[in-house]
Amino acid sequence: MRKTEIAAIVSTTVLMTCIAARWSFEKYYRLPQELVSKQSLADIDAFGDYLQSVASKTRNGTMSPRKVNLSTIGFPEEEGELRSFRHWLQVYVVTRGEIPKQSSQMATFFAASQLPSNQRSAARRSTEQCNILHLGNDSYALSCDNWNPPDPSSLARITQTFDPETERFYILDGHVILFAPPPTRLPKSSGSPLAQ
């Protein structure tokens, strides 16, 4: 199976599970209206719409994926910090729809969030220890060890030697970084991936 077919199957399965869960909830667990706010139901509907758009983009081949290879390069402590920071970055991106220009934007966002206090603390620690270097086109480099990136032209020359399709760890000037290249476009699939 091609990656587009697998992605379409996974996104369709998730979408159908959410729809079935909502239908089950409404059919078997009728709660008094005062317990389920209209905003909560609207949020569920909005999430369903989002899943449908992801499924549609996947079927049409317009989803912009990025390969990920987070296998170790021999620095488990630094890589663990980068994985944690990457997690909080993904939470920010999914919530805000954009990659922050600086980790301080993430710190402000998480400080004002309604996450449980232990998660807010973990996000705060991660955003204090780590930095993001936004490289444009949804590409970035993460560092958690006070890496000062070279000037933009040198950095562009260096990152050209990196894998252009895969997010992975690299050692650069003695620092462990996590580089994420711009997402790639998938070719359009012909017809339903389930029918092939």
The C-alpha atoms of residue 73 and residue 83 are separated, in whole angstroms, by 13
Whole-prediction pTM: 0.64
Q: Which pLDDT value is given to residue 85? A: 94
Contacts of 85 (CB under 8 A, 6+ apart): 103, 126, 127, 129, 130, 132, 142, 144, 178
- Residues 52, 72 within the same domain: no
- Residues 44, 119 within the same domain: no
Map tokens 């339903």 to a residue.
192
- Residues 10, 49 within the same domain: yes
If one counts the domains in the chain, the total is 2
CA-to-CA separations, 184 to 61, 139, 140, in angstroms, rounded: 11, 11, 14
Say if residue 177 is exposed, middle or buried (CB neighbours under 10 Å; 0-12, 13-18, 19+). Answer: buried
Phi-psi region of 97 (alpha: psi -120 to 50; beta: other; left: phi over 0): left
Q: Which pLDDT value is given to residue 48? A: 76
Q: Which pLDDT value is given to residue 144? A: 93
Range of the domain at 88: 67-180
> Within a domain: residue 185?
no
Strand 175-180 and strand 67-69: the pairing is unpaired
> Within a domain: residue 150?
yes
- Residues 109, 160 within the same domain: yes
- Residues 28, 74 within the same domain: no
- Residues 46, 82 within the same domain: no
- Residues 55, 144 within the same domain: no
- Residues 55, 86 within the same domain: no
pLDDT, tens digit only, all 196 positions of the chain: 556 566 556 666 666 676 666 656 555 555 555 566 777 777 777 777 777 776 777 667 666 677 889 999 999 999 999 999 999 998 888 888 888 888 899 999 999 988 899 999 999 999 999 999 888 777 889 999 888 877 877 777 788 888 888 999 999 888 999 999 887 654 444 433 333 3
3-class DSSP string for 67-133: EEECCCCCCHHHHHHHHHHHHHHHHHHHHHCCCCCCHHHHHHHHHCCCCCHHHHHHHHHHHHHCEEE
- Residues 100, 47 within the same domain: no
> Within a domain: residue 186?
no
> Within a domain: residue 188?
no
- Residues 162, 83 within the same domain: yes
- Residues 170, 77 within the same domain: yes
